[in-house]
Amino acid sequence: MTQVSVNPATGRELERYESHSDEQAAQIVKAVAKAQREWKRSEHRERGAGLQRLADALRARSDELAQLMAREMGKPVSDGRSEVEKCAWVCEHYAEFGPSILADERLPSEPDGPDAFSVYQPLGVVLAVMPWNFPLWQVFRFLAPALAAGNAGVLKHASNVPGCALAIEELVRDAKFPGDVFRTLLIGSKQVDAVLSLPEVRAVTLTGSTPAGRAVAKRAGELLKPQVLELGGSDPYVILDDADLEQAVAACVTSRLINNGQSCVAAKRFVVVESVREEFEKRFVDAMSARAFGDPLHDTTTLGCMARVDLRDELHEQVRASVEAGARLALGGEVPAGDGAFYPPTVLADVAPGMPAYDDELFGPVAAIITARDADDAIRIANDSPFGLGAAVFTRDRELGRRLAAEHLDAGCCFVNGFVKSDPRWPFGGIKDSGYGRELGLWGPREFMNAKTVVVN
């Protein structure tokens, strides 16, 4: 079997890669487990130095990696360079803070009682099942904290970005980590079960769709293996009647169109209080219409194509079904002529329950505007979703925004007067159908560590 890399902007085949058989995958996992037994004995200083070399290697190949992402999944090269830089940042973050995050912790005890403390020890090999939309960042978001913790990794990447998957393996090797501490498996989705079942694999992290997360969680649960799942999202952005509309529109458009609209944590539903809905919609449509797609390989392009034609067509069907159910097409909504998986910035207004734009995740450059009576109704609508990854609220009353974000919005990440984004310093993850577990921050490395209690009498 082979994995085929196709340029979504042209539809032309780029390269074919030989897939790994189940037997080959098992041998690679054994080699990674052997390397991990050596790596877990390394000192934090050695791990930090390796992560810094990895950051340096990323920056040295920034243009090359950005072009690779543009060719394989349509990300504009300017966005690709930013993604590479963020990967370097997360490596440097854990190079610097790994020792303090993973330091032993003193535990309470009686006066003159035993010496009690906890130590954090790596679990071993972590299987990462990753998507194509951020083909480097999604991997490094798991990999940097995993290496800092003394774990090792095997990657099952999306089948349309095999070049990116192999490039990451090469980067780790060039950074002079132990040779097999991280390897890429060129396998299909049906082979994941066999790899997860290997005794050397001690945990799994998956970023992807909710159905994929359920399947992996079921098998990992049967095997009693820890898991972190970062799944789909239909992030609501709540626009209150006192919001700074210029600021809100700028943030909303940026978030909706980031990565060509293909981000789990992008703004998807814009819940606008009725008194400002008309003005918000006008400004939002104007700002969305000013963005035009282009060749992802051009430096001036800010909106590329979608990752595959079939994904574009699925998105268009969601738009069509929503309009048929009563949504108003305020912008876009037409498949352009010509080659490539292009789709224009699209705005649906008057969106209501029962429409795909209200009920489902729109994974592309399509925005859904939903009208709310007031702030309480807006929060109700925002939470009326099976997803709970990110959310945002826009208001000039910062204390009100703080309270709504902290106490009332159902999501793992809530922002006030800004768009939701991941940051190496902060925990990242969702609730409900958006998954569980946390990446990054203090929590990322500890998800796959044994918090061992030690009591010395």
Strand, helix or coil at 440? coil
C-alpha closest to that of 271 among 243, 303, 247? 243
Rounded alpha-carbon distances, angstroms, from residue 444 to 55, 204, 209, 355, 447:
18, 13, 20, 36, 6
Task: Name the active-site residue from 72, 92, 200, 230.
Answer: 230
With beta carbons less than 8 A apart as the criterion, state whether 118 and 104 touch: yes
Please indicate whether residue 230 is annotated as part of the active site: yes
With beta carbons less than 8 A apart as the criterion, state whether 123 and 450 touch: yes
Burial status of residue 324 (CB atoms within 10 A of its CB: 0-12, 13-18, 19 or more)? exposed
From the centroid of its chain, how far is CA 132? 10
Rounded alpha-carbon distances, angstroms, from residue 211 to 48, 303, 332:
36, 28, 29
**444/93 Cα distance (integer angstroms):** 12
C-alpha closest to that of 328 among 360, 270, 370, 286? 370
With beta carbons less than 8 A apart as the criterion, state whether 120 and 446 touch: yes
**368/345 Cα distance (integer angstroms):** 11
Residue 126 forms beta bridges with which residues? 153, 203
Angle between helices 162-174 and 137-148 in degrees, nearest 10:
30
Can you read off the two tokens belonging to residue 3? 């994995």
Please indicate whether residue 252 is annotated as part of the active site: no
Strand, helix or coil at 234? coil
Residue 456 forms beta bridges with which residues? 115
**Strand (E) or helix (H) holding 26:** helix 22-39
**343/306 Cα distance (integer angstroms):** 7
Burial status of residue 59 (CB atoms within 10 A of its CB: 0-12, 13-18, 19 or more)? middle
Task: Name the active-site residue from 164, 264, 413, 414.
Answer: 264
- Supply the residues annotated as catalytic: 230, 264
